[in-house]
Amino acid sequence: MLAFPSVAPFRLDQVTAAPLLMAGLFAAQLALATALAWAGVRQRAAFWWMAALALVALVGLFFTLGSWGNSDTTKLSYYFSFDLSRVKGEAFWVLVAPWVVRLPYRMSAVHGLVVASYALAPLLLAWHWRALAWAGWWSLLLCCSPLLRNFLQNGVSRQALATLLLVPLLLWAGRLAPLRRRWAALAALLSLTMHTAFAGSLALALLPRLALLRPQMPLRPRLLRPAGVVALLALGAGLVLLVALALPTALEKLGSYIQQESYFNKYPLDQAVGRLQAAMLLGVLLTCWWRRLSWRTLLRCGVTRQLILFGLLYHLMQWSVQAVWFPQITSRLADVVGLFLLVVYLAWLNRYQCHWAVLPALFVTLDYWLMERLLPSRQLTCGLDDNFLCIPDRWPWQIRYWDLPSR
């Protein structure tokens, strides 16, 4: 039996390429998205929910298998058995680690659940915004997006889940959905326990508040009820405690990234990302033409200002990676901005009731997924390199997790 390698790529065996299987699973996802569109148009709520849950489950299965060959998931599947220092400062993962090692395929199953949650979020937004016919396509737009390649295709499960939990805060801050502050705050507190990059992600989630501010807007202080004061104090105490526990590790990791870490991904510079940005811009222009929107109308719209803000931020991330200006940090935050940009983009299309204008972005995303991810997977060197879509070659009970060191 081979010992666990000390450097990436960590997956050396028990992997295989199965392009036909993965293509079949994705074809089933396309069929379910089509079924959701049919059910949404026909107002078949029960069928819509059944198809939605089936789509979420299928996405989870696809990414559970597809992430098996990734270094991040393999590394944690191994170390969660005996060495939790790998997630120091991330209380959530320390608590759930004993359960993770009992799951089939361990951390790969966790990653499948995380991406399934990414598929569920657009479904819930579509239900709330009454855009049922587009729900399945929105899910695939997120899960297959080149903007989220590092999160969803590299198996960066911890940061991906922590960022997803900040979406309620983003929706509240941008007034994109009528969420109660307490639920957004609780989700944000849970997010703080999941990844040491919480400070940057939290700041990005709150940025829509700046886009909504107006110089002439008067401040209107509100008096809180006693129960509200108690809840606010409890949330504040929880926040202070979590920050106190996680801040030393976060600062240590930040210093390591700046002074020692030389690796950074270049996914924001991929051609598919540029094509998607152009397609999203085309969707905006089509909406402006269809709704006859003037520049003055657009700039008065808070959702438009948020869309511009996150669009510019993502361009800044791209420039940082290209110019090699702290890319160790910005490349790890690019997916955060990418997720928020996609959510705000969908909210903007819903604001002007031009859901069909998502089609250019959807076409580019599916073309990237099929032509650049699924079809080339038959040529992957599974077992020799760290590759998404290298799936396990055996059932969960047949997996060997190498020789674990003694406790």
The tens digit of pLDDT for each residue in 335-354 reads: 999 999 999 999 999 999 99
pLDDT tops 80 at residue 99: yes
Q: Global pTM?
A: 0.88
Q: How confident is the model at residue 254 (pLDDT cuts 50, 70, 90)?
A: low
pLDDT for residue 182: 85
Query: Residue 371 carries which DSSP code?
Result: I
| % of the chain at pLDDT higher than 70 | 85
349 in a structural domain: yes
36 in a structural domain: yes
Q: Which of 3-7, 80-84, 118-122, 287-291 has the lowest mean pLDDT?
A: 3-7
pLDDT tops 90 at residue 246: no
For residues 268 and 200, which has the higher predicted lDDT (pLDDT)? 268
386 in a structural domain: yes
pLDDT tops 90 at residue 209: no
Q: Would you tell me how many other CB atoms lie within 10 Å of the CB of residue 110? A: 25
394 in a structural domain: yes
**Which residue bears the tokens 């990676």?**
321
Mean pLDDT score of the chain, rounded to an integer?
Answer: 86
220 in a structural domain: no
228 in a structural domain: no
Q: Helix count (H) and strand count (E) of the chain?
A: 17, 2
Q: How far is 33 from 136, CA to CA, in rounded Å?
A: 4
For residues 281 and 82, which has the higher predicted lDDT (pLDDT)? 281
- Partnered with residue 391 across adjacent β-strands are 16
Q: How far is 36 from 132, CA to CA, in rounded Å?
A: 7
Predicted confidence (pLDDT) per residue in 152-205, tens digit: 999 899 999 999 999 999 999 999 988 888 888 899 999 989 888 888 899 899
279 in a structural domain: yes
Instruction: Compute the average pLDDT of residues 287-292.
Output: 94
Predicted confidence (pLDDT) per residue in 44-74, tens digit: 999 999 999 999 999 999 999 999 989 889 9
10 in a structural domain: no
Q: Are 4 and 382 in contact (CB under 8 A)?
A: no
User: What domain count does the chain have?
Assistant: 1
Instruction: Compute the average pLDDT of residues 234-260.
Output: 53
pLDDT for residue 5: 75
Instruction: Compute the average pLDDT of residues 73-78.
Output: 90
- Single-letter code of the amino acid located at 313: L
Predicted confidence (pLDDT) per residue in 391-401, tens digit: 999 999 999 88
Domain that holds residue 109: 15-212+233-398
Instruction: Compute the average pLDDT of residues 83-99.
Output: 88
pLDDT tops 90 at residue 241: no
Q: How confident is the model at residue 13 (pLDDT cuts 50, 70, 90)?
A: confident
pLDDT tops 60 at residue 227: no
pLDDT for residue 256: 54
pLDDT for residue 376: 92
| SS3 (DSSP) at 197 | coil
Instruction: Compute the average pLDDT of residues 246-257.
Output: 54
pLDDT for residue 334: 94
**Which residue bears the tokens 């955060």?**
336
pLDDT tops 90 at residue 299: no
Q: How confident is the model at residue 384 (pLDDT cuts 50, 70, 90)?
A: confident
Q: What share of the chain is helix, strand, coil (3-state, %, to 5)?
A: 70, 0, 25
Q: Which structure tokens are listed for 323? A: 């110019």
